[in-house]
Structure 1
């Protein structure tokens, strides 16, 4: 594959194959994680990510809009998930004192317990389905590629997402 392959209007077959394989692998990985979490812990991967973000935040709470940005999804999708998590007693909601339009989402004790129970499942799956399949050198190369893609997305995005190790992560 050469750089010229990326310049035509349509993807060449080999470049299209890379893109298609990337999509298939990421979707399959997400499906495996989602299915296992639902079977063993009664939550989806998205719900796990929400609980994790809340646990990692100050006072185990975030504004709904910031939560949506942190998991890179639409606010309506987060609202749907928060409704489900609230029904399970894993989060609670409160109006923002300074801004009546804002909603704060708080991790409950039950939510913290569910997150703690589900974490070993996620870690096991990450190792089994992702890390065990590649060498340390391949992981380092993948990290470089992901950094390149993330930087490119940041350059095209009005709200870049800070991730651990990213130059702007500490400020975010």
Structure 2
């Protein structure tokens, strides 16, 4: 049922196929996990097929190693008419250790699409439930505003007539 689930977690072990030549998980693999978790969270909230519209504020804070227990936690923090802002934290832990560590975090925007035409379609409104929810919504909006400004600057640098 849409409008119910606003937090979603993936948990798994980092595998040898996920790592680069330095023995650490590829940033691309982490981005894939983030996108998959955010997609699942956006669909769970909206009840619709969703697509990634933007990713901003990506920070690779600490490496993830083979065998680490990985937790990808996605949280809806803001809705527009058809869009949803989600904050994703990726945490990792050596299973022999007690504490986990923040590995990566970012903000994503997803857009819900209707089935027949693939056009943006309304999503249930998210109403913050706590002061933390309101702070996270403000943070997500700031990150995505910076992303929009950078995108506009890059667009302004392109010769006339060239699209993305």
- Per the TM superposition, whether the score is higher than 0.5 is no
- Choose 1 or 2 for highest CA Rg: 1
**Per the shorter chain, which TM-score range?**
under 0.3
Q: Which has the higher contact order (CA 8 A, sep 6+)?
A: 2
- Which has a greater percent of strand? 2
- Select the structure that is richer in helix: 1
The alignment's TM-score, normalised by the length of structure 1, stands at 0.27
| Structure 2 length-normalised TM | 0.28
